[in-house]
Amino acid sequence: MELDPDEVFRDDEDDPESEFFKERDASKELLVYLVDASPKMFSTTCHTDDEMNATHFQVAINSIAQSLRTQIINRSYDEVSICFFDTREKKNLQDLSGVYVFNVPEREDLDRPTARLIKEFDRIEERFDKEIGSKYGIVPGSRENSLYNALWVAQALLRKGSAKTADKRILLLTNEDDPFGNLKGVIKVDMMRTTLQRAKDAQDLGIAIELLPLSRPDDEFNVSLFYADLLGLEGDDLAQFKAMVGERFEDLKDQLRKRMYKKRRVRRLRFVIFNGLSIELNTYALIRPTNPGTITWLESTTNLPLKTERSFICADTAAIIQEPPKRFQSYKNETVMFSVDELSEVKRVSTGHLRLLGFKPLSCLKDYHNLKPATFVFPSDEEVIGSTCLFVALHRSMLRLKRFAVAFYGNSSHPQLVALVAQDEIMTPSGQVEPPGMHLIYLPYSDDIRHVEELHTDPNSVPHATDDQIKKASTLVRRIDLKDFSVCQFANPALQRHYAVLQALALDEDEMPEIKDETLPDEEGMARPGIVKAMEEFKLSAYGENYEEDDQKVDGKAEPSRKRKANAMKEYANYDWSDLADNGKLKDLTVVELKYYLAAHNVPVAGKKEALISRILTHMGK
Amino acid sequence: MARNKEAVVLVIDVGPSMHSVLPEVEKVCSLLIQKKLIFSRYDEVGFVLFGTSDTKNELTEEVGGYEHVTVLRNIKVVDEDLVDALQNLPRGSVPGDFLDAIIVGMDMLIKKFGQTNKGKKRLCLITNAATPIKDPFEGTKEDQVNTIATQMTAQGMKMDCVIVRMKQDWETNRRVMEENDFLMSVFLNKSSSKVVYVESPTSLLGALRTRNISPVTIYRGDFDISTQLKIKVWVYKKTSEEKFPTLKKYSDKAPPTDKFATHEIKVDYEYKSIEDPNKVVPPEERIKGFRYGPQVVPISPAELEAVKFKPEKSVKLLGFTDASNIMRHYYLKDVNIFIAEPGNKKAILALSALARAMKDMNKVAIVRCVWRQGQGNVVVGVLTPNVSDNDNTPDSFYFNNLPFAEDVREFQFPSFSNLPSSMQPNEKQQDAADKLVQMLDLAPPGKQEVLPPDFTPNPVLERYYRYLDLKSKHPDAAVPPLDETLQKITEPDVELLSRNKSILEEFRRSFELKDNPKLKKSTRRIMKERPSGSDEEREEFDKDAHAKAIDSIEYSSKTNVEKIGDVNPVKDFEEMMSRRDDPKWINKAIRDMKNRIFDLVENSCEGDTFPKALQCLVALRKGCILEQEPKQFNDFLCHLCKFCQEKDLRSFCEYLTSHEITLITKTEAPDSGIPEHESRSFMVKPELDSQNVKSEAKAENDIMSIYLGGK
């Protein structure tokens, strides 16, 4: 079905890249956002990055909108539903009051996100009051329980799909730590009990409930009041959750968005420290290039997808054959055949585990020791208890001694030497920037490294900068300093453009959106007098007075080209160019002859004959 | 003829001191030839040995001297025989003179090519340079080497020297080796030579470039520091993975008599309409569609062209930043290198000044690159200085791609400091880890780094090419095991481990690892996944498993049982049944026990697990009577028997009968609908559940309601 035209011609059996870049998600995720829409969400404000005072409700829906946008690009197979509770209106299959399931046409309540959903959800705020409305759902004197209803609706939505193939989650966004606080006595106890039971039932069905509390710095969200029971948090888990909630974050929205991500393990690994001692690690793909997605071929008349059929044809007899069992390589004028089994045996140089070989100082890891994106590893006690403790100990030692581990990763399709570099946790006021753990960096083999520098060696020694030049360069470097540069601060302009266009086309919009290219240099900043001065001084120091002339002249190369040009000038005089051009006779000349003209006039000489002729005509002004 | 045709003369020391490493020399040289046979059929190769007892070269005939240098083969196009010849190098008996051999090799190249083919003539010298070269007739050795190096440059020759230095060599001939190393450095400085020293056979395999890939620039043009200052640079690939060769699919359809059969297979793709599967849709009726959520958005080529992002070809500086801002794991792809335009002295100087300034200040540069006109995206990357320490090589920059915002997943992980104390290493453990990290050292001071990427060959490729050669001779040969030198790459060094035995032991004692007893066997994946099932490893595994089983018993007794493990299921079950903190445990215990029994029966091998299953069943029966859950047990027993009959495990049913297992009767539990005389009925009527229900219903009608109510 989905075949990228470039992919088609690649070898289909062993392309380790494709496997590597695909995250192994056998299961898709079904997610229900349960958003508290009670008046308290609207009356509480907090400080965020872009708007000084946003309500908690705004923060919640903004983070959801942002996460929907990421999802449609990265994980469009996951299904999602947005459900408000404590609402005035109700809209849900069970017809329960105080719960409103937000949706757009041509979409089930729990379904993959569509362009339309994203677009309409972006405008939810203006429509909210009119169409949905906010109202406390749990009030004294009434047996209505909107939280209970919400959990019921969410659970009913998540009935779809089996628990084996899908990850089911409810994300609860609220700023009310004590939803039954205004009730008393038996009613309170009873309603709390039924709500907890509801949550437990959902959890028994394999639905994970996660809480994203929104709290104000002066009013901490107290998990113990109610939600600890609902989430089933005890002991260490509870302490850890409290610690997380208690941290004061400058940017609540950013923090919410990060917590909405479900961590996805790529695979589980056994890390063999030495014989008989091995721990359990999980690997995560924290950094992988995102690309515009695969191409699906459609029939242009109907816009229906096409089915791709592949057939193998014998080049000698043109017979159609089944997938052949043997591969061959021509060698020594012979055809040497391999069975697929033999080839995979050749690749199997080690067990499938990660095997520690030893440690080296970090200075041994050079900047050119890289081939593909790193993989993050984090320990797990799920199968082997004690893994985390051992890992933490190694992690600390490696950080302290400034060493990295070298290991052999005997993956069956692509066995490789890897470096394990310990990364300490980095926290900023806006949260965790770098998680603690190790990064697995795939090392090149000698076969993969090219010695380009050698091409440029010169037995007569090449110049190196003088101290003065280095000093001038230092001044320049100091001037053009990107202080708060963070690695992923730029959005990919090509990708942004691509998806903006897709969204516009999907919604039949006429106007194509403009996307700002954030990756262009800051011309204005560069024009500041301090920088310009430093630049000029450096230029003077490295290039001397006449930068413009010298720029063109290249030693060694100049000689032959000058000779060639002299020859061209001589030959050039032998033709009556304007006459040839007028009579359309240029095409009768050879390419070599045409180049005499071009070379004599300093016009580029590259290209096909037609290009050369048209260039000559243009140059003559004809 | 290939544009990049090169001529190589292999100059190999086969003197007595080299004998120990000659097997590796044979391998690396034959691999060089093999790759030439496959990838550069027209390259030419000559082949000189020195340290041989015989002498055979043209120079000795013409001018005399040059003893113990044997030209095994004059320069000619690579052929099959050469591989075999290199696999069986003769062992020499005389300490060789590498300078003589170099001169012979040069003479061969000069005679064959004269002044032509500049830059495509190469000498490959492999020696340990442990024996002195002869004193020249006039001047010093250094003068002589100088003359030769100058001549080499004039002729446009390059030389790769691989000097093998195992550690025992140093003890014997330190003075000679130091002298020779000095002479080598003269070559290095005065000609286009490369000298590498290797200390292990594994590095030797990686030290010689076996495949000659002519580097191609991916960008030539301006590096814009600003609109006013542009430096001319060339950008090449610095690393690029050498992939496993793509083999062709073999077709056996051609008649065996057809000598010109290619045996190749073409792959053909047809696009067919969904509505009419017989209709092949021609290319002009196809249109590209891109996924956006569940929708596929069609975009015509014209539209795509109109809206596509089209940046101008350029390389622009965005600014400088502290090196610590760019973490190593953000490097995204293979690496490029920025070198100033050759011959452009000013550009070389400008780049050199920047590189050195940045290195001193520990800064890196952030750049935005569009390598080609028409490239549909931009690349943001980091330049790190690569300051050269010798006079011949210009300073340059390494370029690494950096991720965009879309490429990063900001998963949150718990802080190590917030982990529960059971997961925090104590002082003793930390100490053991420190020692391990320090002592398992692959780059000990004063010695060469072990397994440096620059000298470590790809074991899979090495193995493939050797197997290819073997198969060409014996088509049915099996894949030979990985040889010892290559095992050094995939497995820890035995010597290093045994040297640090006590540290390893202490480390092992410090950390207690055990299987998680809460985990069901079926979900336990890691331990099962053992692709290489070598006996040794299985043994080790069994030992592990045994040790872990003991651990898990200890463990389970300490905590509240929440799962029935496979070590002591009866005990777990009883404990769980007696948990009174929540009634759910009873149901869970019964359910888990049922599963455990199923697992036991199903995984039995000739009944080895039957006694244990029986114990479990007895416990379950007892539990069900105590908790007045007879139906649970009775249904299960019937179901189990049915299962056994279907799965050909009848022996288990017989086993049960012989041990007098019966259904729970009415006398034992009033809720049961089974009268005494029918307590063995599960054996007689082991068919379907529903039939069981029916037969019971016949016996006692009022039970029906219980069953229906229960379901």
Q: Using a CB-CB distance cutoff of 8 angstroms, which residues of chain A are in contact with residue B420? A: 236
Q: Tell me if ipTM is over 0.85.
A: no
Report DSSP letters for B610-660, one per residue: HHHHHHHHHHHHHHHHHTT-HHHHHHHHHHHHHHHHHTT-HHHHHHHHHTT
Pick the residue with more confidence: A244 or A129?
Answer: A129
A and B: number of Cβ contacts within 8 A: 722
Chain B residue with the nearest C-alpha to that of A389: B423
Rg (CA), chain B: 38
Is some CB atom of chain A closer than 8 A to the CB atom of B502?
no
Chain A residue with the nearest C-alpha to that of B420: A236
Residue A403 pLDDT more than 90? yes
Map tokens 């790759």 to a residue.
B35
Chain B residue with the nearest C-alpha to that of A477: B320
- Alpha-helical (H) ranges within A271-386 are 340-347
Q: Which residues contact B379 (CB under 8 A, 6 or more apart)?
A: B368, B369, B370, B371, B401
Is some CB atom of chain A closer than 8 A to the CB atom of B449?
yes
List residues bridging with A83 in a β-sheet.
Answer: A34, A101
Map tokens 């009527």 to a residue.
B685
Chain B residue with the nearest C-alpha to that of A70: B406
The three-point CA angle B320-B326-B331 to 5° equals: 115
Q: Please give the backbone phi and psi of residue B430, each rounded to the nearest 5 degrees, phi first.
A: -60, -40
Is some CB atom of chain A closer than 8 A to the CB atom of B249?
yes
Q: Do A261 and B410 touch (CB under 8 A)?
A: yes
pLDDT of residue B101: 87
Q: Do B274 and A465 touch (CB under 8 A)?
A: no
User: Strand order in B248-249's β-sheet?
Assistant: A334-339, A326-331, B248-249
Of A16-30, A247-261, B141-155, B316-330, give the range with the top mean pLDDT: B316-330
* B321, B393, B514 ranked by CB distance to A386: nearest: B514
Map tokens 């100091």 to a residue.
A478
Smallest CA–CA distance, residue A53 to chain B, in Å, is 25
pLDDT digits (tens, 9 = 90+) for A528-548: 888 888 888 888 888 877 666
**Count of Cβ atoms closer than 10 Å to residue B226 Cβ:** 19
Chain B residue with the nearest C-alpha to that of A416: B458
**B657, B649 in Cβ contact below 8 A?**
no
Average pLDDT in chain A: 79
Is some CB atom of chain A closer than 8 A to the CB atom of B196?
no
pLDDT of residue B170: 60
Counting every residue written for chain A, the total comes to 622
Residue A463 pLDDT more than 70? yes
- Count H helices and E strands in chain A, helices first: 23, 22
- Report the share of chain A in percent with pLDDT over 70: 84
Closest Cα to residue B37, out of B155, B204, B167, B210? B210
* Residue A440: pLDDT band with limits 50, 70, 90: very high
pLDDT of residue B541: 40
Rg (CA), chain A: 33
Which of B150, B228, B241, B507 to probe the A interface (max A CBs under 10 A)?
B241
- Alpha-helical (H) ranges within A544-590 are 547-552, 558-572, 577-582
Residue A471 pLDDT more than 80? yes
pLDDT of residue B703: 40
Q: Which string of b and e fits A171-201 if b means at least 16 CB within 10 Å?
A: bbbbbbbebbeebeeeeeeebbeebbebbee
* Residue A10: pLDDT band with limits 50, 70, 90: very low
Gap between the Cα atoms of B426 and A389, Å rounded:
9
| Mean pLDDT in residue range A580-585 | 82
* A275, A338, A370 ranked by CB distance to B335: nearest: A370
**pTM for the model:** 0.72
Gap between the Cα atoms of A422 and A403, Å rounded:
8
Q: Do B307 and A369 touch (CB under 8 A)?
A: no
Q: Is the sign of the CA dihedral A604, A608, A613, A614 positive or negative?
A: negative
Residue A419 pLDDT more than 90? yes
Closest Cα to residue B194, out of B219, B162, B155, B169? B162
Is some CB atom of chain A closer than 8 A to the CB atom of B292?
yes
Gap between the Cα atoms of B551 and B708, Å rounded:
45
Gap between the Cα atoms of A170 and B41, Å rounded:
63
Gap between the Cα atoms of B490 and B492, Å rounded:
7
Q: Do A388 and B339 touch (CB under 8 A)?
A: no
Distances (CA, A) of B568 to A6, A511, B545, B586: 56, 70, 15, 18
pLDDT of residue B524: 43
Gap between the Cα atoms of B82 and B88, Å rounded:
10
Ranges of chain B whose pLDDT falls below 50: 1-2, 521-559, 685-711
Gap between the Cα atoms of B226 and A386, Å rounded:
55
Q: Which residues contact A161 (CB under 8 A, 6 or more apart)?
A: A28, A30, A79, A168
* Residue A404: pLDDT band with limits 50, 70, 90: very high
Q: Please give the backbone phi and psi of residue B479, each rounded to the nearest 5 degrees, phi first.
A: -65, 120
* Residue A592: pLDDT band with limits 50, 70, 90: confident
Which of B220, B331, B341, B467 to probe the A interface (max A CBs under 10 A)?
B331
pLDDT digits (tens, 9 = 90+) for A174-197: 888 888 888 888 888 888 888 888
Residue B619, judged by CB atoms within 10 A of its CB (0-12, 13-18, 19+), counts as: buried
pLDDT of residue A407: 92
Closest Cα to residue B260, out of A315, A587, A383? A315
Q: Do B358 and A477 touch (CB under 8 A)?
A: yes
List residues bridging with B336 in a β-sheet.
Answer: B237, B399
Q: Do A299 and B345 touch (CB under 8 A)?
A: no
Is some CB atom of chain A closer than 8 A to the CB atom of B318?
yes
